[in-house]
Structure 1
Amino acid sequence: MPIHSLRARRLILATIAMTMAWAGSSACGPFQYYDGTGLHDATAPEVAGVWENIEDTRVDLRRDGTAVIRRLDGQGFDFDAGWRLSGTGSWELTDHDGGQVVDLVLTKRTDSGTRIDSAGGAARPSTTGAPQPAPPATYTWHFDVDRDDHGRVALFFFYGDPDAGNTYAMSRPTPSRP
């Protein structure tokens, strides 16, 4: 085999390898490399209290480290199953290189339900024909901790495909006016 043919083959193979590497890396969304909020100054008393989201979701993070959870959706791909969990458990504010996280653990499920979709019906079952998984008896959420524009603590996690960057944000309840 002539030398130039060997060089040409190596060049072609190198080009194919680089193209495949680029194609694989370009398929990743911006949240593929998410490493946290970078927040390290939140305190447990700031995080403790009641947090809410849509459809009657409520999480009470008590100062003693216990938690009461009502109708909280699954995190990550678990969100797509459509189940919502209620029960009791515990929580802890932890600090990692990328920032602080609230680890919320449901240890005793008291109820489960199904999320309502945006059209007003129950969350859609799988279109693949595969049965939807049953809601878990125990579950752990990892809420990222951040601060809003006013310096108040904010809690959120990603749901669905992580590359999409969909956030499930919890907020403090608005006080009712007399």
Structure 2
Amino acid sequence: MTSRTRPSTQDSVLLGALTSPHGVKGGLKVYSYTNPIEGIFGYPEWLVVTQGQTRTMRVLQGRPQGKGLVVFLEGVDSRDDAEALAGAEIRLPTEQLAPLNANELYWYQLEGLRVVTVDGQTLGRIDHLFETGANDVMVVKGSDDSIDRRERLLPYISNVVTDVDLDRGELTVDWDPEF
């Protein structure tokens, strides 16, 4: 139903993070939010955000390494260069995301939506989503306008989600608030 990404701003989406140096030639370990995780290498340029600064960096090489990923970026030629980027966010301008088929959404488009039941009760707002293997799950946190402050885990499946209205910022669910 959705493509896997993480929280976004209006102009970019979070794809992952540069976690730590790998080796002595400027390699960096990558944590990817894409599905599959190697999908992050499908974007030849990344917006790398570190210490409040954003710069565009070209991917020279990316590869699986054990259970993770390693990347080599243009201009990162030593372990010291790589250490300076450890912890940086990897972002992509939203206009560079792959087009979706009809009725498909990226996760970042759902995050922040108000969740209401078919009876009009507000359950809260979507904080984030995660994948379980069987289906995607929405983490709905209670908000100021919700019926309570409970956190709920709701499946993102067609017999629960009855409507998504991005213009209204609302997702409607067929869900018992007591569950």
Class of the TM-score when normalised by the shorter of the 2 chains = under 0.3
Task: Pick the structure with greater CA Rg.
Answer: 1
How does the TM-score come out when normalised to structure 2?
A: 0.23
Which one has the bigger helix percentage? 1
How does the TM-score come out when normalised to structure 1?
A: 0.23
